[in-house]
Structure 1
Amino acid sequence: MSDTPDLTATTGTAAGIAGYWDAAAPSFDEEPDHGLRADRTRLAWERRLGSWVPSGPLDVLDVGCGTGSLSLLLARSGHRVTGVDLAPEMVRRARAKLAEANRPARFLVGDAASPPTGGERFDVLLARHLLWTLPEPEAALREWIGRLRPGGRLVLVEGRWRESGQGDPYVAGAEVLPWLGGVGAEDLSAVLRPLVAELRIELLGEDPELWGGPVTDERYALLARV
């Protein structure tokens, strides 16, 4: 018997999780760092991505892509982007966003922890604010590293989130998720350091332009090379 959490036993069915994020999709871009509608917020993310992702074009896998805002920035930089999200409505909106901007990209409905891209390998894998949702985040990290080409880059935008007490609760059983509420830079580094060739942390919490205003919780980017 496995000691690792089971998706259906601990956090509801995959359909239930997809339903949660489908329901969140219509208002998802209202968050400043999700929709990137303000010029200064969008430019702040453009600058960061430009420093994290080498000039290309490169093959980039955006896991847990949501409505595709970061995918769009990467596509505008000339990269070949594949986005994956479990929620069909998120994927629909991502496709529409890129089409409206006349930028090519591929978006797939599927589990971000095990992206449905077959044997393809990528130069960069990007995940933002995703690890807390996964029942087996360490397994997902190993899977993602396996999707990268030699010398490929892992870009994880993560943190420990302030508890707001607002909004709808996550799916039933979420309290057993290993990294519910986020994961600190020290803990995430300890998991990844044995698996990668290079690793560094870039603190993000003191840059209010990224978030649409000041934040008080831990936010950072973990940048690794395999």
Structure 2
Amino acid sequence: MTQLTSAITDYWDAAAPTFDEEPDHGLRAERTRAAWDRRLRAWAPPAPAGILDVGCGTGSLSVLLAAAGHRVTGVDLAPQMIDHARAKLSAAGLEGRFLVGDAAAPPTGDERFDVVLCRHLVWTLPDPRAALGEWVSRLRPGGRLVLVEGRWGEAGLPYVAGAGSLPWSGGVRADDLATALRPLVADLRVEPLSDDADLWGGPVDDERYAIIAQVGISS
């Protein structure tokens, strides 16, 4: 593990106990939870589908997907995040699998999924373009890659030392992410999310979006 990766792991481990205090992390408000549930149901194929939630954090989206009848695997680098995710799924009486590991190269072996979901993760990755290729390779033919991302710059507490060297530190614009992803997939669309205040627990003034991409049936 590199020094930067170790620092990132420690950062998110320390953040785990209070992570869900953010409205779009904990989804504690019914309005926010319902907004994410609607989006996930629109982005995912009919249940039951196999869904890999990379950078799953405390598992809030995984819980919604499992409740909708999907087979969910969550991966996160931070063990404390995974502990919270497991507890959250168990408390909801739902089944799922959570693994500690690098979301950029999920420890799921040769398993393939109908959907790979990633939310607000690529800005933390030392090599996000390599991660995109890795995620696409984990999809079954015709599978979907769903990226919920944005460009927000510096906000809140400073990130780890050395984070300024990350290629997409502070997020990535939709056009740039689509350009990086387009050679890897059969088609994609960009869905703006900034104007849906219910997703975020209130209005936002930065760029937030989802990219829903599909790989070819012969992949």
Asked if Structure 1 and Structure 2 have the same fold, meaning a TM-score greater than 0.5 normalized by the shorter chain, the answer is yes
Contact 2:24/2:201 (<8 A) preserved: yes
Check the 8 A contact 1:162/1:216 in 2, yes or no.
no
Select which of 135, 144, 149 maps to 2:135. 144
Structure 2's unaligned 5+ residue stretches are none
* Deviation readout 1:69-113 (Å, 9 max, x if unpaired): 000000000000000000000000000000000000000000000
Equivalent of 1:89 in 68, 80, 86: 80
The DSSP-based 3-state class of the residue aligned with 2:89 is helix
Q: Which residue of 1 aligns with 2:38?
A: 47
Alignment match, 2:109: 118
Please point out which of 8, 24, 32 is paired with 1:17: 8
TM-aligned CA distance change 1:149 to 1:65, over 3 Å = same
The CA deviation at 1:23 is 0.3
Q: TM-score scaled by structure 1?
A: 0.93
Q: Aligned AA for 2:171?
A: G
1:29 aligned partner, one-letter code? D
What displacement does 1:13 show?
A: 4.2
Task: Please give the secondary structure, in 1, of the residue aligned with 2:189.
Answer: strand
Residue 184 of structure 2: aligned partner: 195
Matches of 2:6 and 2:165, distance apart in 1: 18
Match of 1:181 in 2: 170
Which amino acid in the other structure matches residue 132 of structure 2? L
2:74·2:98 contact (CA, 8 Å) conserved in 1?
yes
Confirm whether residue 220 of structure 1 aligns to residue 205 of structure 2: no
Instruction: Tell me how far 1:162 sits from its aligned partner.
Output: 4.4
* 1:3 alignment partner in structure 2: none
The residue type equivalent to 1:180 in the other structure is S
Q: Secondary structure of the equivalent of 2:52?
A: strand
Whole-Å Cα distance in 2 between the matches of residues 32 and 192 of structure 1?
29
Is the 1:64–1:86 contact (alpha carbons within 8 Å) kept by the matching residues of 2? yes
Secondary structure (helix, strand or coil) at the match of 1:189 reads helix
User: Following the alignment from structure 1 to structure 2, what is the Cα–Cα distance between the partners of residues 220 and 179?
Assistant: 15
Matched, 1:171 2:160: yes
Match of 2:63 in 1: 72
What's the Cα RMSD here? Answer: 1.0
Is 1:30 the equivalent of 2:21?
yes
Q: Which residue of 1 aligns with 2:194?
A: 205
Partner residue of 2:95 out of 97, 104, 123: 104
Give the CA deviation at 1:14: 2.9
Residue 59 of structure 1, aligned match among 36, 39, 50: 50
Matched letter for residue 92 of structure 2: A
Runs of 4+ in 1 over 4 A off after TM superposition: none
Residues 155-164 or 112-121, more deviating: 155-164
TM-score by length of 2: 0.96
Asked if the contact 2:153/2:171 (under 8 Å) is kept, the reply is no
Q: What residue number does 1:4 align with? A: none
- Distance in 2 separating the partners of 1:136 and 1:192: 13
| Paired-residue identity, % | 69
CA drift of 1:18 comes to 1.1
Q: Which runs of 5+ in 1 are unaligned?
A: 1-6
Within the alignment, does 1:128 sit opposite 2:125 as a pair?
A: no
What letter corresponds to residue 49 of structure 1 in structure 2? Answer: L
